[in-house]
Structure 1
Amino acid sequence: MKSPAKSPSSNVRSTLDRIDLSILEALRESGRITYQALSERVGLSARPCLERVKRLEQKGVIRGYTALIEPSALGHDIIALAGISMRDPSAVARQRLERAMTAHQAVVELQVVNGEYDYIARIVAPTLAAYEALTDAFLADPGFGIGRIHTTFVLKTLKSFDGYPASHSRD
Structure 2
Amino acid sequence: MKPPTKPLGRSAKGTLDRIDLAILEALRQSGRITYQALSERVGLSPRPCLERVKRLEQKGIIRGYTALVEPAALGHDIIALAGISMRDPSVSARQRLERAFCAHPSVVELQVVNGEYDYIARIVAPTLAAYETMTEAFLADPSFGIGRIHTTFVLKTLKAFEGYPVLDSGD
TM bracket (short chain): over 0.9
- Say if 1:12 and 1:59, in contact at 8 Å, map to a contact too: no
The residue number in structure 2 matching 1:141 is 141
The whole-number CA distance in structure 2 between the counterparts of 1:130 and 1:6 is 36
The residue number in structure 1 matching 2:131 is 131
TM-score by length of 2: 0.96
Where does the alignment leave 5 or more consecutive residues of structure 2 unmatched?
none
The whole-number CA distance in structure 2 between the counterparts of 1:35 and 1:80 is 38
Alignment of 1:64-103 (within 5 A): 64-103=64-103
Indicate how the Cα distance of structure 1 residues 124 and 22 shifts in structure 2: closer, same or farther if over 3 A, else same.
same
The whole-number CA distance in structure 1 between the counterparts of 2:115 and 2:167 is 30
Q: Deviations over 1:104-123 (max 9, x none)?
A: 00000000000000000000
Q: CA deviation at 1:2?
A: 1.5
Q: CA deviation at 1:7?
A: 2.2
The residue number in structure 2 matching 1:118 is 118
2:168 aligned with 1:168 = yes
Cα RMSD, aligned residues only = 1.3
- Say if 2:81 and 2:154, in contact at 8 Å, map to a contact too: yes
The whole-number CA distance in structure 2 between the counterparts of 1:54 and 1:7 is 18
Q: Deviations over 1:54-91 (max 9, x none)?
A: 11001110001111110000000000000000000000
Report the AA paired with residue 15 of structure 1. Answer: T
TM-score by length of 1: 0.96
The residue number in structure 2 matching 1:152 is 152
**What is the aligned residue count?**
171
The whole-number CA distance in structure 1 between the counterparts of 2:79 and 2:3 is 22
The residue number in structure 2 matching 1:3 is 3
The whole-number CA distance in structure 1 between the counterparts of 2:42 and 2:5 is 29
**Identity score, percent:** 81
Q: Deviations over 1:100-143 (max 9, x none)?
A: 00000000000000000000000000000000000000000000
